[in-house]
């Protein structure tokens, strides 16, 4: 069997043959017009569509010579006798290329063709003996050479690590992969359309920050040489977007690239996209209603264009989402796990800690450490993460128990919510929700804190947490406090990971499957 290098050399040698045939190995003269592109798309959609519609096409022997000539161009992914299978962005289609229909130069170019080359044919549309659509080529042209051979037999690139490293091969060899990224583009377009229609203003805020803030996360550090200034890659655009509320923009949103120096998993990539929006004169309850409307609209866009990506779901977006306070989630989860626990127990720090201690022997060390919480609020959040969050899909389901419900978890302790507004009736908690769907955290939102003195106190508490060793704590942003001093209107804000959203709506198990180029360790030399 020939080595990879030998196969590449064989392909390089064909460049000379192409030159003798009147073209280059890598020509740049092919320019399809808009009409040609439209005709190609229509033919490919016919070839990939209803087989009955193909039956109206003539067979090759019935051609009269005055039929419309249709262009077909793309990458050759298979050769079966005189048939070439050509891959396009809209699907695969066949070309029947017979040498006796071509000029000598075209025949020579065809002879130099390898799988994965880009080619161009024109001719009338026909149906083959097997009832498939094809172009009966009357012209043939070489468009671009592939030096590297494609994945074996075009069964697709199967090695997962290689797929991520060579996404360019993954996309053209695995059409289902390309479909996910086309769906991602459709989702982002629908996101923009939704907020534009609601009179939100799309803005861009800085990626380089001098103060770490906007979310509790460990940042990436960088440095500006000319200014001799240490900087952070942003973990969230939140504080800049809220400055715009102060400036008089009542509705703003940003689809932002963010960076968090955290581990890599099926749900985390250090570089990711998120959408944040801020809405003056709104509360987090109204944002819950808006979120349900938004997700159903996005899901409709995916179902309409990519229904095959939405077939195997274990959750439902059709019925009303569950809305459950965090402490109630803990009680429901404790009951499910066979523990006796009441709301009064959670409100009494001594009893809550005694309950937490009773769980310790059954927990792994990382979760045991979570229970070493400095305040009752931190402890409630820890109990929720340990007991409640893993059971959300089991606890909250549709009436017929066929699917899990999306869950808005509300009433977060103020200690774990440094930017959210305290509840007026019970200041131990904030007016905040996180949305979980299919067990995944999808969004975070709250009524915004616009009291500068309260916000300054929260920032100081973050500094204390940082001094205790919390690497994700925020810093004191004095300019943001100054902005609040000028008066920010009452508002609500929302943040959602775009990558996780795409995972959810397209049925992908790993965040790497919705990122074109996920972060990977460099390959060994």
176-513 shares the fold of 4-150: no
In this predicted structure, the answer to whether residue 157 has a pLDDT above a threshold of 70 is no
Element (H, E) at 402: none
Count each helix (H run) and each strand (E run) in the chain, helices first. Answer: 18, 18
Indicate the DSSP class of residue 267: S
pLDDT confidence of residue 342 = 94
pLDDT > 70? residue 262? yes
DSSP string for 16-80? HHHHHTTS-SS-------HHHHHHHHHHHHHHHS-HHHHTTSPPGGG--S-SPPEEEEEEEEEEE
> Which of the four pLDDT bands, split at 50, 70 and 90, describes residue 184?
very high
Given a contact cutoff of 8 angstroms between Cβ atoms, the answer to whether 501 and 442 are in contact is yes
pLDDT tier, 151 (very low <50, low <70, confident <90, very high otherwise): confident
Mean per-residue pLDDT over the chain, rounded:
93
For the entire predicted model, the pTM comes to: 0.90
Count of C-beta atoms within a 10 Å radius of residue 227:
9
Query: What token pair was written down for 423?
Result: 């509840």
| Strands 251-259 vs 271-280: parallel, antiparallel or unpaired | antiparallel
- Helix or strand (DSSP H, E) at 394: helix 392-395
Q: Quick one: pLDDT band at residue 466, thresholds 50, 70, 90? A: confident
- What's the mean pLDDT in 13-22? 96
Write down the pLDDT at residue 153: 52
Domain ranges of the chain: 4-150, 176-513
What is the 3-class SS of 146-210, one letter each residue? Answer: CCCCCCHHHCCCCCHHHHHHCHHHHHHHCHHHHHHHHHHHHHHHHHHHHHHHCCCEECCCCCEEC
pLDDT at 205 over 80: yes
pLDDT single digits (tens) 382-415 = 999 999 999 999 999 999 999 999 999 999 999 9
Burial 346-360 (b: 16+ CB within 10 A, else e): beeeeebeebbeebe
CA distance 356 to 371: 7
What average pLDDT does this structure show over 290-297? 97
**Separation of CA 327 from chain center:** 31
Cα–Cα distance for residue pair 156/522, rounded to 1 Å: 23
Q: Which of 435, 476, 440 is nearest to 457 (CA)?
A: 476
d(CA 476, CA 246): 19
For residue 345, the SS3 value is helix
Classify domain 176-513 at the CATH topology level: BirA Bifunctional Protein; domain 2 (3.30.930)
What does the alpha-carbon distance between residue 396 and residue 450 come to, in Å, rounded to a whole number?
A: 34
CA distance 436 to 392: 8
Residue 360 tokens, joined? 């310790």
Better-scored residue on pLDDT, 368 or 205: 205
Q: How far apart are the first and last CA of the chain?
A: 25
Any idea which fold 4-150 has? OB fold (Dihydrolipoamide Acetyltransferase, E2P) (2.40.50)
The per-residue pLDDT for range 475-491, each reduced to its tens digit, is 899 999 999 999 999 99
């Amino acid at each position: 069997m020939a080595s990879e290098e030998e196969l590449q050399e064989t392909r390089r040698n064909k460049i000379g043959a192409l030159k003798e045939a009147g073209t280059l190995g890598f020509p740049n003269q092919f320019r399809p017009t808009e009409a040609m592109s439209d005709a190609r798309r229509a033919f490919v959609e016919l070839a990939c569509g209803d087989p009955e519609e193909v039956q109206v096409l003539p067979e090759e022997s019935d051609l009269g010579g005055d039929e419309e000539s249709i262009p077909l161009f793309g990458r050759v992914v298979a050769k079966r006798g005189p048939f070439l299978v050509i891959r396009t962005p809209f699907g695969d289609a066949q070309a029947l290329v017979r040498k006796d229909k071509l000029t000598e130069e075209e025949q020579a170019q065809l002879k130099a063709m390898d799988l994965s080359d880009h080619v161009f044919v024109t001719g009338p549309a026909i149906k083959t003996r097997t009832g498939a659509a094809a172009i009966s080529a009357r012209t043939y042209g070489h468009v671009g050479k592939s030096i590297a051979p494609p994945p074996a037999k075009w069964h697709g690139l199967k090695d997962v690590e290689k797929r991520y490293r060579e996404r360019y091969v993954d996309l053209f060899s695995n059409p289902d992969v390309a479909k996910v990224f086309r769906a991602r583009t459709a989702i982002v377009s629908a996101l923009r359309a939704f907020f534009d229609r609601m009179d939100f203003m799309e803005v861009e805020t800085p990626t380089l920050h001098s103060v770490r803030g906007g979310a509790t996360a460990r940042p990436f550090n960088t440095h500006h040489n000319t200014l001799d200034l240490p900087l952070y890659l942003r973990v969230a655009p939140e504080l800049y977007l809220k400055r715009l509320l102060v400036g008089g923009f009542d509705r703003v949103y940003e689809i932002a690239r963010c960076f968090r120096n955290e581990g890599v998993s099926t749900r985390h990539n250090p570089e990711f996209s998120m959408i944040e929006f801020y809405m003056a004169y709104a509360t987090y309850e109204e944002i819950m209603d808006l979120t349900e409307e938004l997700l159903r609209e996005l899901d409709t866009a995916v179902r309409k264009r990519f229904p095959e990506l939405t077939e195997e779901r274990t959750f439902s977006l059709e019925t009303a989402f569950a809305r459950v306070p965090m402490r109630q989630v803990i009680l429901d989860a404790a009951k499910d796990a066979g523990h006796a626990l009441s709301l009064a127990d959670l409100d009494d720090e001594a009893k809550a800690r005694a309950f937490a201690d009773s769980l310790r022997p059954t927990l792994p060390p990382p979760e045991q450490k979570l229970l070493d919480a400095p305040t009752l609020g931190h402890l409630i959040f820890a109990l929720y993460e340990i007991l409640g969050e893993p059971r959300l899909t089991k606890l909250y389901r549709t009436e017929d128990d066929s699917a899990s419900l999306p869950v808005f978890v509300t009433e977060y302790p103020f200690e774990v919510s440094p930017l959210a507004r305290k509840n007026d009736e019970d200041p131990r908690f904030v007016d905040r929700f996180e949305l979980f769907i299919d067990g995944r955290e999808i969004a975070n939102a709250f009524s915004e804190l616009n009291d500068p003195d309260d916000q300054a106190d929260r920032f100081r508490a973050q500094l204390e947490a940082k001094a205790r060793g919390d690497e994700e704590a925020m810093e004191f942003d004095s300019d943001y406090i100054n902005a609040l001093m000028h008066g920010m209107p009452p508002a609500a804000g929302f943040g959602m990971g775009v990558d996780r959203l795409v995972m959810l709506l397209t049925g992908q198990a790993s965040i790497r499957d919705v990122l074109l180029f996920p972060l990977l360790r460099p390959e060994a030399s």
